[in-house]
Structure 1
Amino acid sequence: MNFNIIIYMLGWIMNIEALFMLLPVMTAAIYRESIGFIYLGVAAVCGLIGFFCTRKKPRLTMFFAREGFVTVAFGWIVLSFFGCMPFVISGEIPHIIDAMFEIVSGFTTTGSSIIPQVEDMSRATLMWRSFSHWIGGMGILVFILAILPMAGDYNMHIMRAESPGPSVGKLVPKLRITAKLLYSIYLGMTIVMVILLLAGGMPLFDSICMSFGAAGTGGFSCRNFGQAGYTIYQQGVITVFMLLFGVNFNVYFLMLIRRPREAFRCEELRGYLAAVAISILLITINIRSLFPSLFMAFHQAAFQVSSIITTTGYATVDYNQWPEFSKCILLLIMFIGACAGSTGGGMKVSRVMIAFKEVKKEMSAVIHPRSVKVLKYEGKALDHNVLRSLNAYIILYFLIFGISLLIVSLDNFDFMTSFSAVAANLNNIGPGMSMVGPVSNYSSLSYLSKTVLIFDMLAGRLELFPMLVIMSPGTWKQR
């Protein structure tokens, strides 16, 4: 285990967090809030720790899968711990578990909250919560790879551990350039969304917060009314961009280099758009009688479906009041999630599609035992390692889901509350149903349940394995 490079990378995370904390400091200065001094103090501590960890670059900069997974897991834990300190020190969220729940929900782009009235919080804290979505959306370590020169392709282990999806590749030969391209697309789309919201009359503060949440597919709101108080145009812009940020960023890269046909031949993209279209159509028909016009039914269905399948977690209505059929569809697409290589959570469309292909292949093998079929995805034969990883992921996913559900059920809430709470946090969605629905929050859960859900949020965002690797004794054995 190369501990020196792990400490070095953790130091860079501290440096970047110190830099990012200057945004709430500036927000506090603009709105004349004294909490800005707390954010500045925490930023100074982060910067000091980061300085001591990075002042000397390790001679051996190579790291492999084990170091990559450990760096990513501890990186997100360290990022979250220091990220929640302003909440605790200021007294806005005094309990450390509540504060960790809130900031982990932010960095993992989940959007679950324990705050009943968000407008009681300072503007600096509201900005930091929303900005944490943007930071976590693409990944803090992907950002570091974009700015920090590292030798060789060893840093691919970090990108694989942090990036969502069954497989991760490079857009261009150099990984550092790949990371820069991803963040350039990410930043550009965020700026365009802010401009469109401003054009629709949304205040600048709200436009930035809503854009950070949609870009990272997070879900924190800066208003007590959530997204219900915004205009149809503003809600429409949010709907479109939630869907766009749920698309694999490779598609945007192909479009930028003028290869649109190849981009739209993407099998996962077609599956994603089909799932969205079918869900919107079925829900619109089912809820038509609840709204004054077909357009409003379509609009509300489109917003909620886009929010849930991309795991953003925004809401314009209380879908707890919708018919059971519509709620069942929303619950199902919670598990599907967005595309691999996007900022969305869930199991990912690609995994679901590959799993169905595997089932189809096995059924064909039962009927025709002597036939030999090659499993293909995106026009290419799937590597055995990808299938093995997929099967392990699905087994582990439902194992974690089941254990988490058992522990959360100790709070003795109704089944839908416990089930949807675990589903919403493991899939990084945010609001669930019943007592943790879109007009409620997670403050009523016990600290034990919140701790379990903190783990679920981190595990879901990091594709399960990094969080379990650091708990395995074999990880720490020297070879």
Structure 2
Amino acid sequence: MRFNFKLILNILGILLIFNGIFMLLCLPFSIYYREAWWHLAASGGITALVGGIMTVSTRKNTNKELKKKDGYLIVTLGWLIMSFFGTIPYLLSGSIPDLTNAFFETISGYTTTGASIINNIEGVPKGILFWRSLTQWIGGMGIIVLAVAILPILGIGGMQLFVAEAPGISPDKMKPRIKEVAKRLWFMYLGLTIAETILLTLGGMTFYDAINHSLTTMATGGFSTKNASVAYYESAYIQYVIIVFMFLAGTNFTITYFGLKGKFRKAWDNEEFRNYFFITLILSISISFFVFSSKWESFEKSFRDSLFQVVSVITTTGFVTADYTAWAPFLTIIFFLLMFMGASAGSTAGGIKVVRHTLLFKNSFLEMKRQLHPSAIIPVRLNGIAVSRDITYNVLAFIMIYLLVYGVGVFLLSFTGEEFDTALGAVATCLGNIGPGLGAVGPVNNFHDITGFGKWLLSFLMLLGRLELFTVLMLFNKNFWQKV
């Protein structure tokens, strides 16, 4: 199969134009806070100009047929090219003067990981800090899905892009047409962001802090405008609002759509959502009893801290109100294991996802039954519907490759001289797009002191995790590049 490189460049150009426009949206904050604004103006102009040149130079005589291979290539290259151009505001402003750190911060934003190298967040110019939050909001739903809503207007099909961007299991569909799905997702995403901004402002946050935290909450990204993250705000109201929206962001957006339409029974009937809800609730209550018995705090505060940390990690958001590594060694292990959980498929969360764990456990238990009844056909069922063996094999392969990549990542990072617990936590949190890890990259620390090689390695793992492994790993398969 030949690649349609002209069309690929055309679409990448469109993505850069959007990227440049988003940079320019940060200008009002720089102007309002009387900061130097030319860095953002130049960054947005350069990015949009390059995108425009790419688009205009490839628009004529372009074959509009988009193959599946083209889609995978566009998604991976799109994330990379946007991340490289996304470093320009940091570099021009001097907020992050070297490329390695700037790229790490930028791809951490676009992949909604939330791992940071900035030691003094509150010292960063407001316009640049807003760009930092905006990269997570863009990456949360995926700039590719935005392109899916626009490209059909240009006569370019977008189904291949959607499949490559979200290859996870999403059994429910709101509409058969991908354009309509993308539009509904974005309207819902935007609406929930606005709603959280209003609620946080009513709770005493400044509008600037409220909109930044809302952008990164709905993206399950976790970038904050404060050095202490959400722990800076001691308001129970603010923390509960963020908990609710983190949980919603980690929910399959189709389920959220049903909930907003008042179809609560249909939402509750979803097996993945029920498992996601009960895992979060049971763990939060269990941990809160231990925290309450070990600290001189009220049960409400212990429950709130426990609930916040559990929701933050399971949804791969990464906000912090307490240092869970200081509670107890066995609780640290629990949070470490949660880094491999992930929330719902079809959400902005990273990680393996609850639905894959559900199918893995179901298939494992049914395998024992199959051994007793070798002639019986016993399929795995999800929401009462038999799951094809292809999907089951895909889940098993995904988890196996995920753990293999994790092991190789830990080995390579340890080879750079990092402590073993730091390597364990850093690779788990970057591959799962979570943010805080263990050891030197725990909840109250950051990734500033990781070596240059380590940061490029972790950046690659962030991209792998955000695009769910296969989209990126396919590009390293020689068969992918062969003509068919």
TM-score (norm 2): 0.95
3-state secondary structure, aligned to 2:228: coil
- Residue 152 of structure 1: CA displacement? 8.5
- Residue 211 of structure 1: CA displacement? 0.5
Q: How many residues align?
A: 478
Q: How far apart, CA to CA, are the structure 1 residues paired with 2:186 and 2:319?
A: 23
Q: How far apart, CA to CA, are the structure 2 residues paired with 1:164 and 1:329?
A: 28
Match of 1:206 among 205, 209, 220: 209
What residue ranges of structure 1 are gaps of 5+ in the alignment? none
Q: How far apart, CA to CA, are the structure 2 residues paired with 1:407 and 1:227?
A: 32
Which residue type is aligned with residue 244 of structure 1? L
**2:250–2:343: 8 Å Cα contact kept in structure 1?**
yes
Percent identity over paired residues: 39
3-state secondary structure, aligned to 2:213: helix
Match of 1:185 among 179, 185, 188: 188
Range with greater deviation from structure 2 (217-226 or 72-81):
217-226
Match of 1:418 among 407, 423, 427: 423
Q: CA RMSD in A?
A: 1.6
- Residue 370 of structure 1: CA displacement? 2.7
Q: Does 1:7 align with 2:9?
A: yes
Q: Does 1:133 align with 2:136?
A: yes
- Residue 153 of structure 1: CA displacement? 9.3
Q: Which position in structure 1 is the counterpart of 2:106?
A: 103
Q: Which position in structure 1 is the counterpart of 2:50?
A: 49
**1:64–1:154: 8 Å Cα contact kept in structure 2?**
no
Q: Which position in structure 2 is the counterpart of 1:89?
A: 92
Q: How far apart, CA to CA, are the structure 2 residues paired with 1:49 and 1:67?
A: 21
- Residue 57 of structure 1: CA displacement? 5.5
- Encode CA deviations 1:141-163: one digit per residue, 9 max, x unaligned: 10111223268995222112112
Range with greater deviation from structure 2 (121-130 or 21-30):
21-30
Q: How far apart, CA to CA, are the structure 1 residues paired with 2:400 and 2:144?
A: 27
Q: Does 1:336 align with 2:338?
A: no
What residue ranges of structure 2 are gaps of 5+ in the alignment? none
- Residue 320 of structure 1: CA displacement? 1.7
Q: Does 1:242 align with 2:246?
A: yes
Q: How far apart, CA to CA, are the structure 2 residues paired with 1:169 and 1:58?
A: 38
Q: How far apart, CA to CA, are the structure 1 residues paired with 2:172 and 2:158?
A: 12
- Residue 379 of structure 1: CA displacement? 1.8
Which residue type is aligned with residue 149 of structure 1? P
The alpha-carbon distance between structure 1 residues 451 and 130, as it changes in their structure 2 partners (threshold 3 A), is: same
**2:350–2:433: 8 Å Cα contact kept in structure 1?**
yes
Q: Which position in structure 2 is the counterpart of 1:453?
A: 458
Which residue type is aligned with residue 70 of structure 1? L
- Residue 478 of structure 1: CA displacement? 2.7
Which residue type is aligned with residue 238 of structure 2? Q
Which residue type is aligned with residue 194 of structure 2? I
Q: Which position in structure 1 is the counterpart of 2:22?
A: 20
- Residue 319 of structure 1: CA displacement? 1.5
Range with greater deviation from structure 2 (411-420 or 104-113):
411-420
3-state secondary structure, aligned to 1:135: helix
The alpha-carbon distance between structure 1 residues 57 and 390, as it changes in their structure 2 partners (threshold 3 A), is: farther
Q: Does 1:143 align with 2:146?
A: yes
**2:20–2:45: 8 Å Cα contact kept in structure 1?**
yes
Q: Which position in structure 1 is the counterpart of 2:331?
A: 326
Q: How far apart, CA to CA, are the structure 1 residues paired with 2:236 and 2:420?
A: 34
- Residue 120 of structure 1: CA displacement? 1.6
Match of 1:278 among 262, 282, 291: 282
**2:248–2:256: 8 Å Cα contact kept in structure 1?**
no
Range with greater deviation from structure 2 (53-62 or 337-346):
53-62
Q: How far apart, CA to CA, are the structure 1 residues paired with 2:383 and 2:432?
A: 24
- Encode CA deviations 1:71-111: one digit per residue, 9 max, x unaligned: 00000000100001121222211111111100100111100
3-state secondary structure, aligned to 2:74: helix
Match of 2:374 among 355, 365, 369: 369
Range with greater deviation from structure 2 (160-169 or 241-250):
160-169
Higher relative contact order (CA 8 A, sep 6+): 1
Which residue type is aligned with residue 355 of structure 1? L
Q: Does 1:269 align with 2:305?
A: no
3-state secondary structure, aligned to 1:269: helix
Q: How far apart, CA to CA, are the structure 1 residues paired with 2:188 and 2:476?
A: 35
3-state secondary structure, aligned to 1:247: coil
- Residue 195 of structure 1: CA displacement? 0.4
Q: How far apart, CA to CA, are the structure 1 residues paired with 2:471 and 2:42?
A: 31
**2:251–2:347: 8 Å Cα contact kept in structure 1?**
yes
Q: How far apart, CA to CA, are the structure 2 residues paired with 1:88 and 1:151?
A: 34
TM-score (norm 1): 0.96
Q: Which position in structure 1 is the counterpart of 2:160?
A: 157
